[in-house]
Each structure stands twice: as C-alpha cells, then as structure tokens.
Structure 1
Amino acid sequence: MLSSYELLELCNQLPAQSALKTAIRGGEWSEEEAMRALTANETSSLRAILQVVHGGKSGAKPPLVFRSVSEREEREEIDEAIEEARESVFDFADFTSKVVPQQVESDDDEDE
C-alpha cells in the first residue's frame, strides 16, 4: 500500500504531457508544447512576411527546413534548368528584336 507521500512523489515524476498534469493545468499545453507551438507559428509568420517582401514570388523565400544532399542536388538541377530556359527566352527576344525592325524597315521602303 502506498502512502500519500509516495503517491505524490510518483505523480510528480509523470511527464508534463500526462493526463494528470494536463488536468492540473486545466487542459493547457505544457511549457514544451507551448514553445513548440510558438516556434511553429513564428516560423509560419516569417515565411508569410518573406513571401510578401519578395513580391509574392514562390521561389523568393529561402528554405527554412533541412534538405538532404540528394534533395539539394535535385533542386540545383531544377534551378539550372530554369536559368537555361530564361537565357534561351532572352536570347530569342534579342534575336527577334534585331530581325523584326529590319523587316519592318524593308516593308516601309516597299510602300514608298
């Protein structure tokens, strides 16, 4: 048979997430759970702020999670492919800006 002192000592050894300690707190989170929730909320707010500051561009926010080596390599390949696509679009735009005005000038010469 346990004495009341021994029972109290056992109850004090329970983890903070136990049903007894949660009931004693009135159902509120433990300090550790509250800190985790606060950290998650602040991280979410920071991501939203960064998104707005960078003009809402989806690629503008820095990664806030650890990525494995294979994920980083895959991301680098995607970034390189995107950059190559941008360069080809700009090269094409430069090419057409040089070709099109010459054609327009020759069309104007024919009208005269």
Structure 2
Amino acid sequence: MDQQLCPRFEKAMGLLSTRWVGLILFELLKGAKRFSEMEADLPISGRLLSDRLKLLEKEGIVERNIYSEFPVRIEYSLSPKGKNLEPVIQEIQKWADQYVSADELEQH
C-alpha cells in the first residue's frame, strides 16, 4: 500500500517543530509582547528570535504591530491564524504534563 503524508500536515509539523517556534507561540498566547520582553523571557539569542518572528510573520501566524509613539513601540501578537493554534498547543502541553517525566528533561 502506497501511503503518502499529507503535504499540508507535513508543512505544519515542520513549522511547529522548528526550534523555538513552540515556545514563542506559547509566550504570545499570553498576549502581545515587545521583542525585548520575549528576549528576556526565552532562552534564545536576539538574532535567532528575530529570525523566528520573521518566519512566523511570513507564515501569517504572528503580526508585527508598530505604534507611532515616541519612542516607537513595536509589539508582536498572534494573528487570528496564530490564535487558532491555541487548542493544539494546549493539547501538547496536556500530553507533555502527562507523559514527559522530569528524568527525560534532564537527559537533553
């Protein structure tokens, strides 16, 4: 039997499994954040965070909002497409809470 992965599923899994993407989405589920806030909250370099945010923005998952204040304020938030990932992320969290042990975390 010739089975092929659904290309849409494969693309979605590739995107969500990109290193740090899950944690960035998890952070943005809490609400809009400035770059500096995310940089402080996540164990990731500024350059890599910028790259991941650009990727997510290109995919239409994250929105970059510029506020014309002085100084200019830029915040990142989930788009409607990104917000629709919330139940997926919550289910992954539930699964991890149930099946990923502290011992497994120390092995990485």
Per the shorter chain, which TM-score range? Answer: under 0.3
**Larger proportion of strand:** 2
**Larger proportion of helix:** 1
User: How does the TM-score come out when normalised to structure 2?
Assistant: 0.24
Higher relative contact order (CA 8 A, sep 6+): 2
